[in-house]
Structure 1
């Protein structure tokens, strides 16, 4: 599937998802997310035939976790679980992306500081709701997932890594909003999946020397 076809189809379906979120239609949200996930899987699998199977498997698992019905069956457990899947995915990219991207220590310290600040800000409410350890797991895995993406690419040379970075940010936002604003959470997951799939696919094509026109 060529990228312009994927883009047109994906963003052609997105208004249905947005409408479903606005009117809070369970059917529209489920239908559109299922279509988007299926389209993403087809685009990634067909476009990465000569890629190590583990990368393809991990991304498909990540898409499955954030798509119906798995996201509902797994409930809160889906949030750290999908983070772990993408941590493995982007670590695999990093350690096959020679020369290895340099460590960004300032970014590491900043994300950890923000995570701790957010945790202690929410701590009184979390203790009252009995959700301290669930949120600790989500924050910890979200922080590592964000760092994994940031350290997977040499962003100046591999600009499609920015799509993945935006995707993981929307993924984390979707998890954060899952309980309070489920409709907005679904929308974030829809945007996240696009960034992760499109960015990863285009990065792989760049590494393999495949020009845009071929696909």
Structure 2
């Protein structure tokens, strides 16, 4: 019994040593790769000092925002002007597949595609979008929220969200960048129907938008 156990242990020992050697080698290579990648990322960060873009809603005009009773059809005419700033001193940005969506009470009611554009280092770019049309609100909660805000001065809580793809220009190199998401929570007063579209829009205070990746 003792001899059999000794023979079995002796036969398994080379396998264990081989496995431990391969595992140790793999872990060493993995540690070197991770360390090298971390150093490269640190050097690139210190070299380019990337900063997140800034977005501000500078003006908005809610010409029409009405809800048909019982059918809950929402008719809208909204124009929004954004100012997008690239604070980076060494990174230029090319935006493509830019799209904007408007939400009310958590429901998307409008979509608009925007043109591609290029933004140089330290540059600010205007970004204008417009939503015009009609759609339906689902559920009584959204309709109740609309009636409440309409009765409280016709000032509505509308979220405008933008998304895009980025290509970053680092010196002469262009590399894929992150996909930014911009969220602009707005409180917009609807135009007075008696004033007409020719009159001045209601006062709007510039609003900082949230930006993340």
Aligning the two structures, in what range does the TM-score lie when normalised by the shorter sequence?
under 0.3
Please give the TM-score of this superposition, normalised by the length of structure 2.
0.25
Please give the TM-score of this superposition, normalised by the length of structure 1.
0.25
Based on CA coordinates, which of the two structures has the bigger radius of gyration? 2
Higher strand share: 2
